[in-house]
Amino acid sequence: MRSSLFALAAVSAVLIAAPALAQDQSGAASPATNAPAEQTLRLDDLDATRINPNQITIEFEYDGGACEQVGPAEVGELVDGTLAVTFPTISTAEVCTMQVVEIEVEQTIEAEHIVSRVDVTLTRPDGSVLATGTTDVDHD
């Protein structure tokens, strides 16, 4: 009788824990690396404004680390009026707290008059994608 109670308790515990074990593990540490899974964010308040026939100012915000800054924009390919622009982040300290701060970016780039849209990619120091966004170019 006593062993039946223990068996019933064990089966009940497994049935109760099963839904929790089966939940989506996104954002959880990868078993092989013990590092959090990386996710791509959307850039906040992304704007692109043409300031003259050959230049566009790109502005956006994102939640980043207290010890990072955004480097100079890298202009990529122009395809059907859409210009690819990459903003690399740079680590400003070897050791840093995990404090999250809002980082505002505003940079002016060279861009032909035929550019009507920008496809912006923000990359981590290791080159992986941190955030993306696309917007039309407004005329000032």
> Which tokens hold the place of 74?
């890298």
What is the residue extent of each domain of the chain? Answer: 44-139
pLDDT digits (tens, 9 = 90+) for 106-127: 999 999 899 999 999 999 999 9
Residue 30 pLDDT > 90? no
> What CA–CA distance (Å, rounded) separates 19 from 8?
18
* Threshold 0.85, pTM exceeds: no
Residue 75 pLDDT > 90? yes
Residue percentage of the chain with pLDDT more than 90? 58
Q: Which residues pair with 91 in a beta bridge?
A: 68
Instruction: Give me the pLDDT at residue 134, please.
Output: 97
Alpha helix ranges (H) inside 1-138: 2-22
> What CA–CA distance (Å, rounded) separates 33 from 36?
8
DSSP conformation letters of 12-40: HHHHHHHHHHHS--TTSBPTTT--BPP-P
Tell me if the domain spanning 44-139 has CATH number 1.10.10: no
